[in-house]
Structure 1
């Protein structure tokens, strides 16, 4: 049943972004080199327990295989040492291109230079605090993290006087960028108070949440009205300890990434998570393939930045009557580019 709930949530997310694309014409790249065939690519996942990483990988894999590419994937399970070990194994495979799925090039250490020496194209998803090319990546695919943070914090501000706890993971530059932006916006708000910024690694959220919640309740009591987090994963684990303390009044809002679990929680109305800022993971997976294809052709990156979307119960309820037959506009747009169809 969990598999079908995940699929339904992914479909619902796809419908929402499809609706946006229909309402506004395709805003992605309009020119690209023809698709290269027979390429070998590797996807190094920071942690496949992260729904965002899973979602973007599935889309990446689909697009790459449609082009006849061979796809290899490994899972770092949130461990820095394991990620680097797996990267060394990937290097020995000598692929044409590599995706850093949810971690920064710094995790590679000296291996980064080895990838460059072998002229292996490197692109990233959430591999830095800004979208586009960097000094270590051909391109980093992400929505603007500051825009994501603004959407989340502005939704919380609608409730008037609020006391906010923020959960972040300082291992990641994109998480730090979101957190700093949310704190800045809250400190500028007369009716808002930042109670605490909790630095809890995403990979440890399941083990560390109970004690964090008990500690926060002891410190702040009823003053704690809202929780903001840089990823939905924190809210996979927060409801049980909150309910045990009788704190069903706290409203939880995530600044990323619109995981299947989060969409299901919000849609059901039975969870304290009331919103998430979703990124179009399907579109971003195809963009990863497009950027690699551009690198293979010695052409510059597209500079396309995908828009985020605030997902609330109202948005999901209004989407219930949409057809289950999804309109994958981004897939058609990219295929036409790669096939050089006008």
Structure 2
């Protein structure tokens, strides 16, 4: 059995096990209050305030699954900005969204002998041998979205810290916004890709969010591989419209990129931009997602992560690793973007960039101006 098939079966088993546990029902007022709280502006720094001063002349390579992924490209840009503040050499390599490409740039990066690696949106378990080789070469490693939860990665001790907002909470918030928006009548299809543990976790969060409402329903969970979005989404979107008709109220995805291809198909099928199905994403807050939400063009919400902040945190975690210290343990909180708050916290520039002074906080820790 090949690795991908094993991953898909494993993801299905995880999802089935998770689905066997019923979600706790909540009142509609509770769910609306949670959604409203998640839209609040982020003004207070809740991350680390102490840590080692930064050394000079470090070299860091960022391995991106693909630079078309707003999450990987955004966190890479944040890491580039932070590295520049320290005077560190920084390089981004693009895996072109294929396992072969991701493996190739990993090998190339090890050969460059950097002090640190940031690995973005890889299915880490599929690259254990390369993580081991990098670790044996003395390279310090952090990952972004490299596992189902933030923190260390079980079975890959070479990873110092995996950065992410809690993926279950992100997805649960996205789904509960569908419940709140529908006034407790959400019928939703969930798009997933079961080869990625973090996506399995997000799917469980979305399913539980819809099932927290007694009068809402998960119509189906569709496995739509992330690497095949452009080919599959037009036909899948049309098929969902045909299958469910007026029952299809919401389409939930784990990444905004799905809606780059769903929205044109909805338009071609005569669906009005402000009509059902409404689109809500559990990450990562792409420019096109902000544009759709602002215009009222099918998508009504996204739960973005603070990508530039995560890039700064990645550099901070590497600096801690360089000094033999433990990770900061910082995990950013969930934030929901809708048309009502879209211009806050960096939204006027089509990104979630909290106004909590994180850049100055990290520079203070590192001892730079």
Tell me whether the two structures share a fold, i.e. TM-score over 0.5: yes
Deviation of 1:31 (Å): 1.0
TM-score under structure 2 length normalisation: 0.82
Residue number in structure 1 paired with 2:88: 69
Are positions 1:298 and 2:317 aligned together? no
Residue number in structure 1 paired with 2:34: none
Residue number in structure 1 paired with 2:14: none
Counterpart Cα distance in 2 of 1:29 and 1:112: 27
Residue number in structure 2 paired with 1:252: 279
Q: Determine if contact 1:280/1:307 at 8 Å carries over to the other structure.
A: no
| Aligned with 1:214 (options 226, 232, 238) | 238
More displaced, 179-188 or 64-73? Answer: 179-188
| Aligned with 1:110 (options 115, 124, 129) | 129
Cα deviation per residue 1:231-250 (whole Å; 9 max; x = unaligned)?
A: 00011111111122223321
Residue pairs, 1:159-178, within 5 angstroms:
159=182, 160-178=184-202
| Structure 1 residues 317 and 58: alpha-carbon distance in aligned structure 2, compared to 1, 3 A threshold | closer
Residue number in structure 2 paired with 1:147: 169
Count of residues in correspondence between the two structures: 320
> 1:74 aligns to what SS in structure 2?
strand
| Structure 1 residues 204 and 335: alpha-carbon distance in aligned structure 2, compared to 1, 3 A threshold | same
Q: Unpaired segments of 5 or more residues in structure 2?
A: 1-37
Q: Determine if contact 1:83/1:107 at 8 Å carries over to the other structure.
A: no
Are positions 1:274 and 2:300 aligned together? yes
| Aligned with 1:240 (options 254, 264, 275) | 264
| Aligned with 1:329 (options 345, 350, 357) | 357
Q: Unpaired segments of 5 or more residues in structure 1?
A: 1-16
| Structure 1 residues 323 and 231: alpha-carbon distance in aligned structure 2, compared to 1, 3 A threshold | closer
Q: Determine if contact 1:55/1:282 at 8 Å carries over to the other structure.
A: yes
Q: Determine if contact 1:149/1:182 at 8 Å carries over to the other structure.
A: yes
TM-score under structure 1 length normalisation: 0.88
Counterpart Cα distance in 2 of 1:46 and 1:335: 28
| Aligned with 1:284 (options 307, 310, 331) | 310
| Structure 1 residues 244 and 187: alpha-carbon distance in aligned structure 2, compared to 1, 3 A threshold | same
Q: Determine if contact 1:74/1:86 at 8 Å carries over to the other structure.
A: yes
| Structure 1 residues 320 and 67: alpha-carbon distance in aligned structure 2, compared to 1, 3 A threshold | closer
Counterpart Cα distance in 2 of 1:220 and 1:80: 34
